[in-house]
Amino acid sequence: MELHPVHAVASGAWTASGVAAMVATTMAAFAANPIICRLARGGDLIDAPRFTAIRLLNGASMLALFTLDQRQNAERSRFDPWAAGALFVYAAAFYFAYVELAAGVGALLLFGAVQVTMIGAGLARGERLAPLASVGLMLALGGLGVYLAPSAGVGPSWAASMLLAGTAWGVYSLRGAWQADPEIATVWNFIATVPAAFVLLALPRGNATFSADGFALAVLSGAVTSGLGYMLWYRALARMPSIAAAVVQHCVPLLAAAFCVALLEHFTPRLALACVAMLGGIGLGILSRRMAATTARR
């Protein structure tokens, strides 16, 4: 998952091992989100509207609790209505997709859609891809296509929902690039989704399911793997070289897929091929950016 760039300068003394521990915790949190959603949705423990609402409410509460005490920063950023809307669409479509979508497949589709959205926005602004980056993009799209092929057994509606979630997160990340303090902006954007979350809670239920286990998973996804995960990520990101940050966040879908295979699903050659193609393409893109930066400094 692509997250907002951060412009803050690290403060305080942090050891390399401390930053590494923070990064490892963050990656585990982000990678756990598809597993939590699949457990809740696949087990029919809670319906999509209530899971989404509880996740957003707890994410907003956790972020506000740990972040808005930074008064000097709280005044620097306010929520962007477009970003808040994209955040809500992402959260709702993300969980809906797991009605039938396997968690590992979902992680790959989400990540692929994020990358295509952000690269497409750059091309629309007139940016040009270097030859190596173009090869990487084609390779990554090929890996995405492996799981969109009709023979892959991915239901079109669930795949479309996850692609919508990825597109929304790409838009959210692009909007965040203009924020002076993305960490504080994220808090305000989560808070802005609270009214919509209450609307979801008020929707007629019909035969929708709800259980204590489903509620607990929604709270875990909102407060821990989302709220605390974002907070730790931004604080770790401020203390990492940009190339290292890019490598770390691009490893999240592979880690998520690995977790899902180990805990929930069966390993398949198709999954392995998609992971290798997508991450190989991403690696070429990172290498291309690094080469361009090195050339610019000369």
The tokens describing 292, both together, are 């361009």
Q: Where are the domains of the chain?
A: 16-100+153-268
pLDDT digits (tens, 9 = 90+) for 34-84: 888 888 887 788 988 899 999 999 999 998 887 766 555 555 556 688 889
Those residues with Cβ within 8 angstroms of residue 178's Cβ, 6 or more apart along the chain or in another chain = none
Phi/psi for 46 (5° steps) reads -160, 145
Phi/psi for 210 (5° steps) reads -155, 130
Radius of gyration in angstroms for the set of CA atoms belonging to the chain, rounded to a whole number? 19
Q: Which of 51, 6, 1 is nearest to 237 (CA)?
A: 6
What mean pLDDT comes out for the span 230-237? 80
Ranked by mean pLDDT, the top range of 19-23, 88-92, 236-240, 247-251 is: 88-92
The answer to whether residues 70 and 187 touch, using CB atoms and an 8 Å cutoff, is no
Q: Which of 30, 26, 63, 5 is nearest to 182 (CA)?
A: 5
How far, in Å, CA of 197 to CA of 91, rounded? 10
pLDDT at 217: 94
How far, in Å, CA of 201 to CA of 160, rounded? 24
pLDDT at 52: 92
With 0-12 / 13-18 / 19 or more C-beta atoms within 10 angstroms meaning exposed / middle / buried, residue 204 is: exposed
pLDDT digits (tens, 9 = 90+) for 89-101: 999 898 888 766 7
How far, in Å, CA of 159 to CA of 63, rounded? 30
DSSP letter for 126, please.
T
Greatest extent of the chain over all pairs of C-alpha atoms, in Å: 65
pLDDT higher at 158 or 10: 158
Helix (H) or strand (E) holding 273, with range, is: helix 269-297
How far, in Å, CA of 114 to CA of 198, rounded? 27
Least confident of 89-93, 202-206, 292-296: 292-296
Instruction: Inform me whether the pLDDT recorded for 6 exceeds 60.
Output: no
pLDDT at 198: 93
How far, in Å, CA of 282 to CA of 287, rounded? 9
Helix (H, G, I), strand (E, B) or coil at 12: coil
DSSP letter for 228, please.
I
Ranked by mean pLDDT, the top range of 76-85, 242-251, 278-287 is: 76-85
- Kindly report the length of the chain: 298
Q: Which residues pair with 210 in a beta bridge?
A: 46
Give the CA dihedral 252, 255, 261, 263, nearest 10 degrees: -100
Least confident of 102-106, 166-170, 216-220, 222-226: 102-106
pLDDT at 182: 75
Q: Is the pTM of this model over 0.85?
A: no
The answer to whether residues 63 and 190 touch, using CB atoms and an 8 Å cutoff, is yes
